[in-house]
Amino acid sequence: MIKTREHIKNVIFDLGDVIIDISIPGTIANFSNRSGISPERVREIYSTSGIFLDYEKGKISDEEFHSGANSLFGTDMSFEEFCGIWNGMLIRIPAERLRLLEQVSAQFRIFLLSNTNDIHLKCFNQMMEEVSPGKPLGSYFEKAYYSHHLGMRKPDAEIFEFVLQENNLNPAETLFLDDNAENISGASRLGIQATIVKHPDNLFEIFQ
C-alpha cells in the first residue's frame, strides 16, 4: 500500500495540514485586524513569544493564554472572541481523509502526534461531529498524542522517543508524516522513516 516501503508496520500522522486543513495566515490576519498591529509583527510575536510554546506544552491554562495574548496584542478581547479568532485557523476535516485513515489502520498500526492545545482540541472534536458524528478524531487511531497533554512538543526528540517507547515501535519500521520540515528532521534523527507532506492530498499518493 505504501510505495517502496514494504518494511513499514507503523504510521504516525501529524494533524494540521495533514488531516485537518488549516490557515495560520488567516488567524494572523484576524489578530492584525483586531489589534491594529501589522501582520508581520503579529507573526513575529506568534513565533517568538513564549506563551504560545508554553500553551502547546500545557504549561499555562486557557485563561492564562487568553490573558497573555491580550497583553501581547494590546487588546481587550473576550474569551469567546479570542477563541473564535484562535480557532479560525482550523478550516475543515475532509471526510475522504477520515476514510483513508480507516483504510490505513486496517494494514498498519497508526498514531496521531500533534503540537496542539486545549482550545483547538475542543474545536476540532466539535468539527468531527459534523463529518463523523459520535466518533472523535482520536478514535481513528490506536492512540492520539497531543503536545499539551504530554508537556512536550515536536521537533524535540523526547516526544518522539516517548511515543516509540510507549508503543514498542521500531523507528526503522515507523513512517512519520508531517508538513513541517523541522519536525521531519527531528524524527529522522531518531531513525524514523519521515516524509514531508507538502499538501494534505499527498496522503492519497503516499498510500496507494
- Ordered by start, the domain boundaries in the chain are 10-20+93-206, 24-89
pLDDT given for residue 2 in this prediction:
58
Domain 24-89 is of which CATH architecture? Orthogonal Bundle (1.10)
- Mean pLDDT for back-to-back runs of 10 residues, the chain (208 residues): 71 97 95 96 93 97 97 97 97 96 97 98 95 94 98 98 98 97 98 95 90
Stretch (H or E) spanning 112:
strand 109-114
107-139 confidence digits (pLDDT tens): 999 999 999 999 999 999 999 999 999 999 999
- Angle ∠(111,127,125) on CA atoms, nearest 5: 50
Cell numbers placing 194: 519521515
Domain 10-20+93-206, CATH homologous superfamily name and number: HAD superfamily/HAD-like (3.40.50.1000)
Count CB neighbours of 141 within 10 A. 19
pLDDT of residue 173: 97
Residue 5's pLDDT is what? 59
pLDDT at residue 208, rounded to an integer: 80
Q: Is the dihedral of CA 154, 159, 161, 167 positive or negative?
A: negative
CA distance 139 to 29: 33
